[in-house]
Amino acid sequence: MVRLSRCLPIGTQLDNYRVEKILGGGGFGIVYLAHEPATQQRVVIKEYMPHKLARRLANHEVTPLDDERKEIYHQGRKLFINEASALANLKHPNIVDVVNFFQAYGTVYMVMKYESGSNLQDYIKARGGGLSEVFLRTVFPALLDGLKAIHARGLLHLDIKPGNVHLRRGGRPLLLDFGAVHTMNLTRRNQTRQVVTSGFSPTEQYDMSGYVGPWTDIYALGATMRACIEGGAPPPANKRLEKETLRPAREAHKKRYSAPLLEAIDWAMEIDPLLRPQNVDELLQRFAIELPEAPADESKDTVLEKWANHLWRKR
């Protein structure tokens, strides 16, 4: 949990918004629930607040910790506002809707549409994993489609994990928290260090010389799928590189899930970036299944459930 001393106090006015609640935070920033007093419309606000580079003063101003980190802080702030601008123009049903961004208190803020629902991390924890194939095939192709739109804009998310997936009614997912997002580099020169989330970040994010790309987000998404099955994060990628301890999903979970799904997870989680899908379309093809026509009195979900049960009985 983010330290309260790093957060804006409840009731703080931010542009046209007033802070209601602290929702959480990470290495790059803090997330608040807020509302617009004139309309009472709720929003979610992400504040650029890298705690290893900056501190908050008594007047709420965010300032670099020292001169040594000043340049890095300002570079990150510039990237944050540039990428918020790009995301504000990226409208997709499975990507959080950025409606505004602005500068205040020496830092920058991204304002996102508030939508009710639950966090995937909380959902996994409450159920102890074991989420159904229907659930996985409902949520993850939609997330991949959103990720495809991000990559098409020349951006990488670089922090996909269950805590950054929001579930709306009907299992309609939203990809959240673009505080770590960066533009794709054509070369490794001047590549900035990325946030690392144990269990979800691939090996190239642990290494300054590692070349990140769409394959990096694909690993994290595969690890998120595996967490839905097993109830917790997979082993860290850097530890897997030293000694592989992760049993292939197609062997560990073949009694409950279909082979195509498990093979997709294993492919996405290859340690070697060159062995993973190199783009979202390659992985999406693994999710393509042909379903029989649904009778008039049955939903697509019912047909998919029957299809999955049929596969499980055949194994």
Instruction: Please give the positions annotated as active site.
Output: 159
Q: Which two tokens stand for residue 146?
A: 């959103």
Residues 6 or more apart whose CB falls under 8 angstroms from that of 243 comprise: none
Please give the Cα distance from 263 to 253 (Å, whole number).
11
Please choose, from the candidates 143, 166, 138, the residue with its C-alpha nearest in 3D space to the C-alpha of residue 302.
138
**CB 248 within 8 Å of CB 266:** yes
Please choose, from the candidates 264, 276, 263, the residue with its C-alpha nearest in 3D space to the C-alpha of residue 237.
276
Whole-angstrom CA distances from 39 to 16, 43, 145 are 10, 11, 33
Residues 6 or more apart whose CB falls under 8 angstroms from that of 165 comprise: 119, 120, 121, 139, 143, 173, 174, 175, 176, 224
Q: Coil, strand, or helix at residue 233?
A: coil
State the number of CA atoms in the 13 A half-sphere of 171 facing the CB: 14
Q: Which helix (DSSP H) or strand (DSSP E) does residue 175 occupy?
A: strand 172-175
Q: Which helix (DSSP H) or strand (DSSP E) does residue 20 occupy?
A: strand 17-25
